[in-house]
A and B are shown apart, each in its own frame.
Chain A
């Protein structure tokens, strides 16, 4: 009786592992194939049946990709876009989230419904007027242009409001008794208590800014002002049949975020799980 139970448990464990190993191969294989292809010559990439390992590990595709795309500028632009969007989202959403959760003021419900309205609408509905505003101000092809739609975050406000609502009022009241005003209570006492939520919002904002394609494509058309995503779209047009160069370019574009992910895997996943549902 016991040994048959034991055996069925073992079979189940083996089945689970089989599932995960097959699943992992499906998830990782495209990246391995990208990596291997990026070192092959165009001729070698077209051999049938394909070679698995490159005949010679040549780096010409990387020099070709970096010659037609200013990767250093793309890294810099993408970094600055993500950096400012994260800073703005976390700072402004913390302030607003705290006010909506903990302070009393006239018009609170109306103002909060503006937040909710933005959350419910897809970002594409705002794109054309946002672009026209920037174009009128002559601010296309700039870092500011890339950051623009992410200057404030309705979702971040909603998310951090929930974090503040989870903190008992006694804590801020104790701070008032110690002579803090609302701002001091917020900065010194309350905000530090939402660290994990702020981190989650930062991860969420960064991951989505990094993947965003339509806005960077529209607002910054100068090659030197593009992000990694919109730069790749340009590369696709130039080397439509040269897959090794495109693989090299894609690899260069994905490496920074993947390296960050390898180090902060737990924070990434938990951050997304916390913000989940958006």
Chain B
């Protein structure tokens, strides 16, 4: 008995020793790679960039400059517009695809794989081919339309073009997530509803939608976050020389250009801090709003 107690004590001591050893790489990594950089970015956002990687604290100068910049407000507007274009329509289409994939038909694994395909292609390559398809002079879309629409250079259209590509890229990913939510719904609900004479459409709105709403909420948060952070797709489709650049420039694109093309990392850091605050705000609003429509009952 005493022996086993001593053994338990030894085990507990070695337990915390092993625990520290096992979390050490991750915690040290996070401190060096994330916590220190987080503090440093905040500091940078209050500093002026000097040559040779030096900085000088300058208070809120960068933020004042940022808030006075028309380009910054335009980037906010562009990002918001991009979110409005991609999130509702993208999630609606993903839900349709997921519901269709949830029916018992032959070849559903094949179709699921096809919709998912853009996920395994680097956004850089995806953007290239769509740039070609949307090309004003020789693009296949304008040929089919028999109209020369400036998909990539018209400031009023460019964001719609980017949104189409973004939705096309993300539809399979979101559908796969929603599908796993749909598959958790018990068949017995549908059987009972069928017996009561409910149509498929009624079943969708009264069973499927409420039951999948927790998954839908997760997908929506994730999609909205990644839309606010959009960068790679727009960067690849709209180059520096494009006259529509200011109409397509997202916040993260502005961050990249300020920090690494203009070389003003202080101002770039202010833009990133602002974006993080925006994401935080949007997420809080979403969590607050979910009470109204997300169903955690069953």
Contact = CB atoms under 8 A, between A and B. Distances in A.
Interface in A42-99: 45-50, 92-93, 95-96, 98-99
B23 A268 contact: no
6 contacts: A27-B114, A46-B137, A104-B19, A182-B15, A213-B123, A233-B124
A258 B143 contact: no
Given A17-B105, A126-B41, A272-B119, A45 B232 contact: no
Contact of A27 (B117, B120, B124): B117
Given A129-B41, A186-B22, 20 more contacts: A17-B105, A23-B115, A27-B117, A30-B126, A103-B22, A104-B12, A115-B26, A125-B37, A127-B272, A132-B53, A136-B53, A151-B33, A153-B26, A181-B14, A182-B15, A213-B122, A229-B124, A229-B125, A265-B109, A277-B177
Interface of A: 12-13, 16-17, 19-20, 23-24, 26-28, 30-31, 33-34, 37, 45-50, 92-93, 95-96, 98-100, 103-106, 108, 111, 114-115, 117-118, 121-122, 124-130, 132-133, 135-136, 148-149, 151-154, 157, 176, 181-183, 186, 207, 210-211, 213-214, 217-218, 228-230, 232-233, 236-237, 240, 243, 246-247, 249-251, 253-254, 257-258, 260-261, 265-266, 268-269, 272-273, 276-278
Interface in B3-61: 11-12, 14-16, 18-23, 25-27, 29-38, 40-41, 44, 53
A268 B260 contact: no
B138 A30 contact: no
A229 B123 contact: yes
A5 to B, nearest CB: 11
Contacts of A100: 23
Nearest to B200: A12
Nearest to B251: A124
A33 B132 contact: yes
Contact of B31 (A104, A114, A132, A247): A114
B159 interface: no
B81 interface: no
Contacts of A33: 129, 132-133, 140
Contact of A26 (B35, B109, B168): B168
B74 interface: no
Nearest to B240: A237
For the complex of A and B, the 3 pairs showing the least CB-CB separation, nearest first, are A152-B29, A129-B37, A129-B40
Contacts of B70: none
B236 interface: yes
Contacts of B255: 124
A129 B44 contact: yes
A243 B128 CA distance: 9
Contact of A125 (B22, B122, B132, B273): B273
**Residue picked from B26, B36, B138, most chain A C-beta under 10 Å:** B26
Interface of B: 11-12, 14-16, 18-23, 25-27, 29-38, 40-41, 44, 53, 97, 100, 103, 105, 107, 109, 111-126, 128-130, 132-133, 135, 137-138, 140, 143, 168, 172-173, 176-177, 179-180, 200, 218-219, 222, 225, 229, 231-232, 235-236, 239, 252, 255-256, 259-260, 265, 268-269, 272-273, 275-276, 279
Nearest to B279: A122
A12 B100 CA distance: 11
Given A96-B22, A114-B30, A247-B128, A176 B272 contact: no
Contact of B168 (A27, A186, A207): A27
A28 B117 contact: yes
A111 B138 CA distance: 56
A16 B118 contact: no
Contacts of A136: 53
A257 B33 contact: no
A49 B143 contact: yes
Given A111-B27, A257-B121, A236 B239 contact: yes
B113 A269 contact: yes
Contacts of B200: 12
A44 B103 CA distance: 44
Contacts of B14: 181-182
In this complex, the member of A45, A127, A130 whose beta carbon has the largest number of chain B beta carbons within 10 angstroms is A127
A48 B260 contact: no
A206 to B, nearest CB: 9
Contact of A152 (B26, B97, B232): B26
A124 B228 CA distance: 12
Contact of A96 (B11, B23, B122): B23
Contacts of A277: 177, 218-219, 222
Contact of A243 (B135, B143, B176, B177): B135
Contacts of A261: 113, 117, 120
A128 B115 contact: no
A274 to B, nearest CB: 8
